[in-house]
Amino acid sequence: MKGRIRREKLMHGVFFLTACASILAVALICIFLFANGVPATAKIGLLPFFTGKNWAPSNYPPAFGIFPMIVGSLYVTLGAILVGVPVGVLTAVFLAEYCPEWLYRVLKPGVQLLAGIPSVVYGFFGLMVLVPLIRDYLGGSGFSIAAASLLLGMMILPTVIGVSEAAIRSVPSEYYAGALALGANHERAVFSIVLPAARSGIFASVILGIGRAIGETMAVVMVAGNQARLPARITQGVRTMTANIVLEMGYAAGLHREALIATGMVLFVFILAINLLFALLRRRASHGE
**3-47 confidence digits (pLDDT tens):** 777 788 888 888 889 889 988 998 898 888 888 888 889 888 888
Asked if pLDDT for residue 201 goes beyond 90, the answer is no
CATH code 1.10.3720.10 for 63-288: yes
On whether the CB atoms of residues 192 and 123 are closer than 8 A, the answer is: no
- Ordered by start, the domain boundaries in the chain are 63-288
Cα–Cα distance measured from residue 57 to residue 160, given in angstroms and rounded to the nearest whole number: 38
Q: Hey, is 225 helix, strand or coil?
A: strand
- pLDDT, tens digit, 9 for 90 and up, residues 234-268: 889 899 999 899 888 888 888 899 999 999 999 98
- 149 three-class SS: helix
pLDDT at residue 286, as a whole number: 61
% of the chain with per-residue pLDDT over 90: 31
Average pLDDT over residues 100-105: 90
Residue 205 · residue 91 · CB < 8 Å: no
pTM, to two decimals: 0.86
Q: Where are the beta strands (DSSP E) in 42-185?
A: 55-56, 63-64
- Strand 63-64 and strand 55-56: pairing? antiparallel
> What pLDDT is attached to residue 85?
92
Query: 56 pairs with which residues across the strands?
Result: 63
What percent of the chain clears pLDDT 70, i.e. is strictly above it?
A: 96
Give the pLDDT confidence score for residue 95 in this predicted structure: 92
CA angle 77, 81, 82 (to 5 degrees): 120
Q: Are 167 and 95 in contact (CB under 8 A)?
A: no
